[in-house]
């Protein structure tokens, strides 16, 4: 029977299953508590004040963000401890200073002497010791210094002696997204831990302060068994999870809390295709499962209530059209959907799919209660 709460929505639109989201949040909070570290959730996935309230213990932090636009919105909403987790550039430091003056303690991230000097200079000029972490590389994924690089101490000294507030080190095991299974993620987590603990030791041995030792990615956060020497853990996409995380066994498909509601608008009968109104504008162009064992196209098809329909994916996507078809590897029968049928699509990558939308329609835990609508923001 159609859900009248969903029938009232214009498609395509973004749905959140509150029950699953709360379960995902509780699971990682418990795991972080068991490991004895502070959880610093990454708010880049949801970019939503209401969703942030679910992940932040007392509503004020600690939090991680990926843009200064996020820092500014969340500071307005009362969050006072924010890590801006992308390498700082000089022109952005005036906005960091403005946030500090407004009462929000923003920590910046960097991995080179040019940035360190800019942060030190801005700290002196403003009379505010800007808190900074040095990024450490554990797997050659992207950014960061290795723990044995002499530049680590040089960067630390520029910050510490130059008037900034050297807070410590941070590592993100980006390669963990390519590893499959809990054991593999545990290994990535240990590599991430060792890199950052070694870097912390190097800084302290050089007489520099290092109170913060930060690690995290959703796979390593869930896989970590021991975080000795680490003070805080970061993760973001775990709030919603997605097909990429299910594909590497961080979660199951039934944990995915985010989906796109769509309507069937036609058929291409000669090809066995059902055409729906969720194209890439609604799903994003993210094809994160393409490199995984099971390529889920542009998403897994569920009925309107969110139950997976075996064997059906969004095989192709144009801007406002999705092509629903049988998965190439599936041999069973799949149902036909008349024009007007409503379906849900589970996304490859929650961060990317959510970014295509301005609102979340939240299906509440309490059965039959009205949907909640939460705003989402973007920009830099």
107 or 284: CB nearest a copy of itself: 284
* 252, 307, 318, 375: residue in contact with a copy of itself (rule CB under 8 A): 318
Can residue 306 be called a binding residue for a copy of itself (CB under 8 A)? no
11 or 19: CB nearest a copy of itself: 11
Residues 138, 155: Cα–Cα separation, whole Å? 18
Cβ distance 363 to 17 under 8 Å?
Answer: yes
* 291, 339, 369, 373: residue in contact with a copy of itself (rule CB under 8 A): 339
The stretch near a copy of itself (CB under 8 A) out of 81-89, 157-165, 188-196, 219-227 is: 81-89
Can residue 76 be called a binding residue for a copy of itself (CB under 8 A)? no
Rounded to a whole number of angstroms, the minimum distance from the CB of residue 22 to a copy of itself is 24
Rounded to a whole number of angstroms, the minimum distance from the CB of residue 306 to a copy of itself is 20
* 24, 64, 66, 147: residue in contact with a copy of itself (rule CB under 8 A): 66
Residues 80, 106: Cα–Cα separation, whole Å? 8
* 24, 64, 107, 115: residue in contact with a copy of itself (rule CB under 8 A): 115
- Degrees, nearest 5: CA angle 4-5-11: 100
The stretch near a copy of itself (CB under 8 A) out of 17-25, 212-220, 269-277, 366-374 is: 269-277
* 105, 222, 287, 327: residue in contact with a copy of itself (rule CB under 8 A): 287
Q: What is the Cα gyration radius of the chain?
A: 22
Cβ distance 199 to 169 under 8 Å?
Answer: yes
Residue 252: exposure state from Cβ atoms within 10 A (0-12, 13-18, ≥19): exposed
Build a one-symbol-per-residue string for 149-188: x at contacts with a copy of itself by CB under 8 A, - elsewhere.
-------------------------x--------------
Query: Which segments within the chain are labelled E, that is strand?
Result: 13-17, 38-39, 63-65, 81-87, 105-110, 131-136, 165-171, 212-215, 232-233, 258-268, 273-276, 300-303, 308-317, 322-326, 342-346, 359-363, 372-375
- Degrees, nearest 5: CA angle 20-72-160: 105
Residues 176, 342: Cα–Cα separation, whole Å? 36
Can residue 355 be called a binding residue for a copy of itself (CB under 8 A)? yes
Can residue 101 be called a binding residue for a copy of itself (CB under 8 A)? no
145 or 203: CB nearest a copy of itself: 145
- The CA-atom distances, in angstroms, between 210 and each of 137, 170, 199, 244, 351 are 17, 11, 9, 34, 31
Can residue 375 be called a binding residue for a copy of itself (CB under 8 A)? no
Can residue 378 be called a binding residue for a copy of itself (CB under 8 A)? yes
Q: What 8-state DSSP symbol labels residue 237?
A: G
Rounded to a whole number of angstroms, the minimum distance from the CB of residue 284 to a copy of itself is 6
Q: Bin 326: left if φ > 0, else alpha if -120 < ψ < 50, else beta.
A: beta
Sequence-ordered list of residues with C-beta below 8 angstroms from that of 199, at least 6 positions apart, any chain: 134, 136, 145, 147, 152, 169, 171
Build a one-symbol-per-residue string for 211-240: x at contacts with a copy of itself by CB under 8 A, - elsewhere.
------------------------------
Residue numbers of the site for a copy of itself (CB under 8 A)?
7, 10-13, 44, 66-68, 86-92, 95, 110-112, 114-115, 137, 140, 142-143, 174, 263-268, 270-271, 273, 275, 277, 280-282, 284-287, 318-321, 323, 338-340, 349, 351-352, 355-358, 378-380
């Amino acid at each position: 029977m159609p859900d009248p709460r969903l029938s009232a929505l214009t498609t395509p639109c973004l749905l959140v299953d509150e029950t699953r989201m709360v379960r995902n949040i509780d699971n990682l909070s418990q795991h972080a508590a068991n490991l004895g570290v502070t959880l610093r959730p990454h708010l880049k996935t949801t970019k939503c004040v209401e969703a942030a309230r679910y992940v932040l213990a007392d509503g004020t932090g600690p939090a991680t963000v990926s843009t200064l636009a996020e820092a500014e919105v969340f500071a307005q909403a009362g969050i006072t401890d924010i890590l801006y987790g992308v390498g700082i550039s000089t022109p952005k430091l005036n906005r960091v200073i403005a946030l500090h003056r407004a009462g929000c303690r923003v920590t910046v991230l960097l991995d080179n002497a040019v940035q360190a000097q800019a942060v030190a200079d801005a700290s002196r000029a403003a009379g505010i010791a800007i808190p900074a972490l040095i990024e450490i590389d554990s797997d050659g994924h992207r950014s960061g210094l290795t723990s044995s690089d002499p530049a680590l101490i040089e960067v630390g000294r520029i910050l510490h002696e130059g008037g900034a507030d050297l807070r410590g080190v941070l590592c993100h095991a980006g390669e963990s997204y390519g590893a499959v299974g809990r054991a593999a993620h545990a290994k990535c987590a240990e590599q991430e831990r060792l890199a950052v603990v070694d870097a912390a030791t190097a800084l302290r041995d050089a007489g520099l302060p290092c109170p913060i030792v930060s690690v995290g990615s959703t796979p390593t956060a869930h896989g970590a068994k021991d975080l000795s020497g680490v003070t805080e853990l970061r993760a973001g996409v775990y709030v919603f999870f997605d097909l990429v995380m299910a594909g590497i066994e961080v979660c199951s498909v039934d944990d995915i809390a985010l989906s796109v509601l769509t309507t069937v608008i036609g058929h291409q009968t000669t090809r066995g295709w059902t055409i729906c109104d969720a194209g890439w504008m609604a799903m994003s162009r993210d094809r994160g499962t393409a490199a995984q064992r099971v390529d889920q196209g542009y998403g897994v098809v569920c009925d309107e209530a969110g139950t997976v329909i075996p064997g059906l994916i969004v095989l192709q996507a144009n801007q406002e059209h999705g092509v629903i078809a049988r998965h190439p590897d599936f041999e069973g029968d799949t149902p036909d959907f008349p024009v007007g049928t409503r379906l849900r699509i589970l996304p490859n990558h929650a961060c990317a799919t959510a970014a295509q939308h301005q609102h979340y329609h939240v299906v509440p835990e309490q059965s039959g209660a009205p949907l909640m609508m939460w705003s989402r923001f973007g920009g830099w």
